[in-house]
């Protein structure tokens, strides 16, 4: 098990998927829905939790209700990577609704967690993705749909089929990740993003 102590509690530069035309095939790939929201890191540290944007800005005051819910999760101190979204009437994430919802209806914000970088003060970014996600799923546990922190589920393999279903549902696209990938800052070909072709795009 590859672990090191985290030198500080705070923002860690995020790992970013590379945009591709076609979803990859093979059972070495895990595929998740691409949520259309705000990339967010949650730092869980008892009553001192923080929330950071993808560029490291502190948005803890904007995501206060999410951070309050996070206090019930096990494994603190911990650092989670995910997306804050708002679901529209059709059940799809609505990017443009996030900013106005932050001030008008913050109770509608949901954090979908898809990776875990730190757990109980241990840096686990060098562990394989499958191990990190198993820890993340166990950490979040089972909650009803009203809980503001949810686990972003995945399927193994069948990338083209999963992408086609995402297109049919009108989703933003999918993100495909190598099951054994380590968490490294910046753009990576270990994570790939396939997006729905919009009218007028090339």
pLDDT digits (tens, 9 = 90+) for 47-64: 889 999 999 999 999 999
Q: How many domains are contained in the chain?
A: 2
CA separation for the pair 118, 11 (Å, rounded): 11
Q: In this structure, is residue 176 part of a structural domain?
A: yes
Q: In this structure, is residue 1 part of a structural domain?
A: no
In degrees rounded to 5, what are phi and psi of residue 134? -65, -40
Q: In this structure, is residue 3 part of a structural domain?
A: no
168 with 105, same domain: the answer is no
47 with 141, same domain: the answer is yes
89 with 143, same domain: the answer is yes
Q: Which of 120, 136, 151 is the last residue of a domain?
A: 151
- The model's pLDDT over 68-90, given as tens digits with 9 standing for 90+, comes to 999 999 888 999 999 999 987 77
pLDDT by position in tens, the chain (length 202) = 445 544 467 899 999 999 999 999 999 999 999 999 999 999 999 888 999 999 999 999 999 999 999 999 988 899 999 999 998 777 788 888 999 999 999 999 999 999 999 999 999 999 999 999 999 999 999 888 889 999 999 999 999 999 999 999 888 899 999 999 999 999 999 999 998 765 344 3
Q: Could you tell me the residue range of the domain that residue 19 belongs to?
A: 13-35+153-196
99 with 47, same domain: the answer is yes
61 with 125, same domain: the answer is yes
List the one residue out of 171, 163, 161 whose CA is nearest residue 20: 163
Q: Are 188 and 15 in contact (CB under 8 A)?
A: yes
28 with 100, same domain: the answer is no
């Amino acid at each position: 098990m590859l672990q090191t102590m985290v030198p500080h509690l705070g923002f860690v530069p995020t790992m970013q998927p590379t945009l591709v035309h076609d979803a990859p095939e093979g059972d070495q790939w895990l595929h998740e829905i691409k949520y259309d929201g705000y990339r967010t890191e949650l730092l869980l540290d008892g009553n001192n939790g923080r929330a950071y944007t993808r560029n490291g800005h502190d948005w803890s005051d904007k995501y206060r209700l999410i951070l309050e819910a996070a206090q019930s999760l096990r494994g603190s101190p911990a650092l989670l990577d995910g997306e804050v979204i708002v679901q529209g009437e059709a059940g799809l994430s609505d990017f443009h609704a996030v900013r106005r919802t932050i001030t008008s209806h913050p109770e509608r914000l949901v954090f979908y967690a898809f990776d875990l970088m730190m757990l109980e003060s241990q840096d686990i970014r060098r562990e394989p993705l499958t191990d990190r996600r198993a820890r993340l799923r166990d950490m979040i546990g089972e909650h009803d749909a009203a809980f503001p922190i949810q686990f972003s589920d995945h399927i193994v393999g069948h990338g083209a089929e999963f992408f086609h279903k995402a297109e049919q549902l009108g989703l933003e696209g999918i993100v495909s990740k190598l099951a054994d990938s380590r968490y490294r800052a910046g753009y990576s070909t270990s994570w790939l993003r396939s997006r729905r072709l919009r009218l007028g795009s090339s």
